Chain A
Amino acid sequence: MSPDIVLFAVVIVAATALFGWSCFRRFRLITLGRDEDRFDKIGERLKNTLVYAFGQRRVLRRPFGINHVVLYWSFLILFLANAEFVLHGLFPAYVSLSRLPTGLYYTLAFIFDLASLLALLAVLVALSRRLFLPPPHIEARSRDSFVILSLVAVLMIAFFGVHASEIAQGTEAAARFMPVSALVAAAFMSGAPLDSLVGAAGFFWWLHALVLLGFLNYLPYSKHLHILTAIPNCYFRRLDNVKTQSREEFTAGNTYGVERVEQFTWKDLFDSYSCTECGRCSDACPATFTGKPLDPRLVVHDIKANLLKNGSQIKNKTDRVLPLIGGGQVGSVSEEVIWECTTCGACVEECPVFIEQYPRIIDMRRHLVEMQARFPDDLSTLFENMEQRSNPWGMAPAERTKWTADMSIRPFEAGKTEYLFFIGCAGALSARSRETTRSIARILDAAGISWGILGRDELCCGDSVRRLGNEFVFDRMAEENIKLFTEKGITRMITQCPHCFSSFHDDYRQYGLELEVVHHTELISRLLKESRLKLNHTVDLGNVVFHDSCYLGRYHQIYEAPREIVASVTGRAPIEMERHHSRSFCCGGGGGHMWMEEHVGKLINVARIEQALEKDPATICVSCPYCMTMLEDGLKDKNADDKVRVLDVAEIVARAL
């Protein structure tokens, strides 16, 4: 077989070189991105890689994920088999499984045989799913998918072909331990003349070799690039939850946000290479669900496509062929898409390979707002109100104490009061949410907590402007707040709104604010557990469904506290909607969408209400003033507001006092 070896050597060197070149071209582009430190905490990162890459923890969240796990592990195993295949092909005299101790040899042969079968089956399942039960996003049926799946199938078939013909020739010592190959041999090759068996072996061997090398070279150009990048992407993932954005430095000469693809960090670009196009993010996204042009998977894809299209131009510093923001074709994200995101975090939560989709959207919003001053009309008033009046509606500071009504106003006084009760704009200014605020105040009193408020001096936390990409205004607002908190000597804070909570908890940390911040649901549940708060009686609220706030749930993993409270008050755990906990569906109010009209598709709040109504509730329980508004509006749109009511967790507790 010496001419074969020479030929194979030539092929393999060429293929490897080509593969290497492709990879080099691809990965060199990654280095165009901005710096970002993801090299710390090696131990923790390795652990993550084990759990999420090798353990496929997130992939397994969906039932169909098991198919991927099978394929993934088969591949890991077959990686060895293929290494042996190649080396054996090159150095038949030196490298061969059969040179191993027989026990090991037989075991490996058995494992490889079985893994190939599993891989083949998994591929067939995947193929038929795509053909007969297609996942919602069309990309799952793309040519790319079919090419790759077919290549894998052929590879497995060739594997069996090689081994079956060897078994039929009687040259395979491990035949007994290769049940599948043996079965193929028995079924198709028994009694075949020796020379055709030799011919078949040669054919399948070359088929296997060529498909393997073909696959290798197809990888860098397909979504299966993720085979190379997913594992490192899990290693480099963000170690904490994605719940804030990085600060910008406002000095002359800087640019803000992302307009050109290389303004993303290298990790953001690496993310785009790692997308498996599994479509889980699209499936979770409330915007996609309600027919908006935004699909987080496509945003990731566009980033990758843009990088590939503009790569050489970026390197040579010549004009781009395709703008990142603009839309109209693959590789360019339209402005409409950028404004549709509610920053609900469902995409990030779902992604099996830890891609951070919506933070990239915010990066682009920053560019549009800060460099271009382009944004939907609805936001003009919001931005002005936030900047000049420090509240989204432009209400007067005097209105901030209106909720106290018959209660006496208790100003926060350092040393005397323990907690600052930060009311938040909605809690102070919206008539409906003032009810929640009053309930919380009653609860705090009942539990004997010492609290005070800032009253007219309270300012907006700035959450919405930050999510909308108006980092400059946020920055100024944050500085003002920090000044106020420092002056007043505030160290512990209770918030009524999850958005204030999240801002002070995480965004403000970047400004050096080290407050102990607690959301009212957490505090109440703690007070109940510690028996500092005692309920008088249970309250019958009919069927209660609980709706998770994105900023409490996905952002901060506060899922159980509100549910426990509902259970204590009603004596029953709340009913779960189909989408709950980490898979909960946004109310439609986050990311600045409280202040914008939805012009395309179905209203997100109505979609959520429909999901709630499926459970035939009498009460929908929420823990956020935005959810309160959005869901109440949704109920009205569905003409269900006479049968169902929306209550905040605090309100139901107040009823049990």
Chain B
Amino acid sequence: MLVVACIKQVPDTTQVKIDPDTGTLIREGVPFILNPFDVHALEESLRLKDKYGLRATVISMGPPNTEVTLRKALARGADQTVLLSDRAFGGADTLATSMVLASAIRRLSQAEEVALVICGQQTIDGDTAQVGPGIATRLGYAQLTLVDCIEYVDLPARKVKVRRKLRGRHEVIEAPLPALITVTREINRLRYPTVPMRLMAEEAAITLWDNQKMGLDEATIGLKGSATQVRRIFSPERARGEILGDGANEPEKAAQLLLGKLIEKDLLYL
């Protein structure tokens, strides 16, 4: 049986800075990394592999250089990887992304039963948290988002028990398999790849599925299959180092100025 981790390669947005003069992004030297939430999805799938003997499969939709990221997943212990890459997949929103991923999982399940699909809670670039629910809905799998603990998986009974972390409460839920789980970053501590595994991963074969293989209707994928269109992108205006008032002599007034700013910039409501 398979546990499928969906991972995405993203630009390391923490490394992106805005040029104060031109207002454009400085992307020079900014690396592409494995989405920090998805590392935990991967880790959780590996733990399920270790614990229940599931085969850990990693899939990712992205440009050809996503291969580098998939190798990192292999180095950590994934059994197989599938790269979903095709020009026709480009420019996808979450609807079109979940279309490709769900179809890939369906394809995998034709060869071997899928017990669980694990996604990250969200990505750091798109930051929508919509792909997981999209996949679950398309496949009709039980949808369990924001899971911070998988208590058990009962394979013979086809059941899973998880804990979801919501603001102010935890929910303990039991669901039938197959299920799709999106995980928080607290769910596990990451393992680190050993050198022999890294070297093995560098040589390993990566399966590539393009649309010729997948055969999806071009109207449902990529830019054409996207329901949302990005109309305009601009940089947020943000104050840099604005010193408010004379805090040393007029603390009250400075505090009032600050409060005014925070309210004015929609940061605070009273």
Contacts and interface: CB of A to CB of B under 8 A. Distances in A.
Interface of A: 250-252, 254, 256, 369-373, 375, 377, 380, 383, 388-389, 394-399, 456-457, 472
B252 to A, nearest CB: 28
Interface stretch (B14-22, B132-140, B146-154, B208-216): B14-22
A256 B28 CA distance: 35
18 contacts: A250-B199, A252-B196, A256-B195, A371-B196, A373-B193, A380-B190, A380-B192, A383-B192, A388-B31, A389-B12, A394-B14, A396-B16, A397-B15, A397-B26, A397-B28, A398-B17, A399-B17, A457-B29
B167 interface: no
B251 to A, nearest CB: 23
Given A370-B195, A398-B26, 11 more contacts: A252-B199, A254-B196, A373-B191, A383-B192, A388-B33, A396-B17, A397-B15, A397-B28, A397-B29, A398-B28, A472-B195
A373 B192 CA distance: 5
B219 interface: no
Nearest to A398: B17
A389 B195 contact: no
A78 B270 CA distance: 93
Which 8 A-B pairs have CB atoms at the shortest separation, nearest pair first?
Answer: A373-B192, A397-B29, A398-B17, A370-B195, A396-B15, A398-B26, A472-B195, A396-B17
Interface of B: 12, 14-17, 19, 26, 28-31, 33, 189-196, 198-200, 203
Nearest to B17: A398
A250 B19 CA distance: 40
A371 B195 contact: yes
A250 B196 CA distance: 9
Contacts of A377: 189
Given A397-B15, A456-B29, A472 B192 contact: no
Contact of A373 (B12, B17, B194): B194
Contacts of A394: 14-15
Contacts of B33: 388
Contacts of A383: 192
A376 to B, nearest CB: 12
Nearest to B189: A377
B205 to A, nearest CB: 15
A377 B188 CA distance: 13
Contact of B203 (A250, A252, A369, A380): A252
Contacts of B15: 389, 394-397
B187 to A, nearest CB: 15
A388 B39 CA distance: 14
A380 B40 CA distance: 14
A375 B193 CA distance: 12
A552 B12 CA distance: 35
A397 B193 CA distance: 26
Contacts of A388: 12, 31, 33
A397 B194 contact: no
A305 to B, nearest CB: 28
A456 B28 contact: yes
B38 to A, nearest CB: 14
Given A396-B14, A457-B29, A251 B199 contact: yes
B198 A472 contact: yes
A31 B16 CA distance: 55
Nearest to A251: B199
A373 B195 CA distance: 9
Nearest to A389: B15
A4 B27 CA distance: 92
A465 to B, nearest CB: 12
Contacts of A252: 196, 199-200, 203
A389 B36 CA distance: 14
Contacts of B193: 373
A223 B65 CA distance: 59
Nearest to B29: A397
B16 to A, nearest CB: 7
Contacts of A250: 195, 199
A53 B192 CA distance: 45
A82 B30 CA distance: 74
A250 B199 CA distance: 8
A368 to B, nearest CB: 10
A457 B28 CA distance: 9
Contacts of B189: 377, 380
Contacts of B19: 398
Contacts of A396: 14-17, 26, 30
B13 to A, nearest CB: 10
A256 B29 CA distance: 31
A370 B199 contact: no
Nearest to A380: B190
A472 B195 CA distance: 7
